Amino acid sequence: MKARSTWLWWALGLLVLVAAGALERTYWFAPKAATATASAASSKAAQALDLSAADLATAQMADLSQSLALSGSLKAVNSAFVKARLAAEVRELSVREGDRVVAGQLLGRLDTQEVELRLRQAEDQTANAQAQLDIAQRTLANNEALVGQGFISRTALDTSINNAAAARASLQAARATADLQRKAVRDSEIRAPIAGWVSQRLAQPGERVPIDTRLLEIVDLSRLEMEAAVAPEDVLALRVGQVALVQVDGLAQPLPAKVARVNPSAQAGTRSVLTYLQLDTSAANAQGLRQGLFARATVKTQQRSALVVPASAVRLDQSKPYVLVVEAGAALEKIVTLGARGEVPLTGGVEAAVEVTDGLAAGAVVLRGTVGNVRGGTAVRLPGGPASGAASGAASAAAPSSAPISAPISALIASPNAAASAPR
């Protein structure tokens, strides 16, 4: 009986010790485990990448415009070199660079002393030929009368007829020579062939110039075009009538233009093809344009509807191109097949974009290149998501953030220019 009572006391003490240990374990370790779980959740939430609206874009159907960049210089459609039509001395030249001239205006004169002497000689020869013709005609008339009376033979009459014809031909030649000399006198006058501005003065008074020497250059600035050399691989995309924008050095805004002509032959050596873009000089900002100014043009070669994403959203650091798609609160890698590159219109201008032919659906939210290097699977927090911090760590652990893309956010990220000012 005593042994049994002792054993009961020992069993009761052991139970008390086990209960005390269980209570102590619950008291000390349960709060620590809860604290560790909350800390881990808070740390994971703190490591999520906060995104702004400017970092996001939506894959959407848009009008993709393909364009071709060109560069060249401005050139007047109408220009002319005034040349010396005589080998003579420049007597007078009354215009200089920058002077406005009209068609037919007298600009200067060449020395006419020599041509005037030749003209006088030709006129004297014409008078002599006229006198010879008169004599031949009188002789012919007399011989015709004598033949009728039988005083001379028919052969003598034929000789008179031939002499009169020769005298008539000599008169015509003398008159032609006189006309040529009169033309030479008129050619001594230097006149403007077109209206415009004098761009070069290449001779000075007192200088003797040979025939066809350039004296002046006149350009008409009312019609200007851009001359650009196009690479052979790009020229096939050009068509007459395609619209373009031309940015001229010194102008704040580009000028509208269109493709006016494409040279049918390639240049030797470079194999490039010269293309001419007609500028709209009636624009308000076209005043003051000059021939020879450097310009850059963008020609729209094609426009079609396609599924596009911003060009900066496509990443090429792996063997195949891919984009980072925001799904379930994380940035996931998706390999895509790319098509044509071009530009899409936005409210504030245009943006470089690329066509996606496979691997992405319309409406998918992708990360732009502005976020930098982001690994696939990185947790992200969309604009308007829960803030990180100690106070929200436990709440984030209890209900992880995976906010869906709502309609207002999609509308905001569709235009990066509108969202550029959104706070990060």
The residue to which tokens 């894959």 are assigned? 59
**More reliable by pLDDT, 206 or 281:** 206
Per-residue pLDDT of 22-63, as tens digits, reads: 665 555 544 554 444 545 444 554 577 888 888 888 898 888
Per-residue pLDDT of 156-200, as tens digits, reads: 878 888 888 999 999 999 999 999 999 999 999 999 999 999 999
* Structural domain 49-73+220-413, CATH architecture: Beta Barrel (2.40)
Neighbouring CB atoms inside 10 A of 35's CB total 11
Q: pLDDT confidence of 21, banded at 50, 70, 90?
A: low
**pLDDT score at 208:** 93
Per-residue pLDDT of 54-92, as tens digits, reads: 888 889 888 888 888 999 999 999 999 999 999 999 999
Q: Where are the domains of the chain?
A: 49-73+220-413, 112-187
pTM score = 0.60
- Classified by CATH at the fold level, domain 112-187 comes out as Helix Hairpins (1.10.287)
**pLDDT score at 422:** 40
Angstrom distance (rounded) from CA 382 to CA 145: 124
Average pLDDT (100-113) is 94
**pLDDT score at 381:** 85
The residue to which tokens 């450097």 are assigned? 294
Angstrom distance (rounded) from CA 210 to CA 304: 60
Q: 248 pairs with which residues across the strands?
A: 295
Contact 277, 228 (CB under 8 A): yes
Per-residue pLDDT of 260-308, as tens digits, reads: 999 999 998 889 999 999 998 877 667 778 899 999 998 988 878 889 9
Angstrom distance (rounded) from CA 343 to CA 66: 6
**pLDDT score at 325:** 93
**Rounded to 5 degrees, what are φ and ψ at 101?**
-130, 160
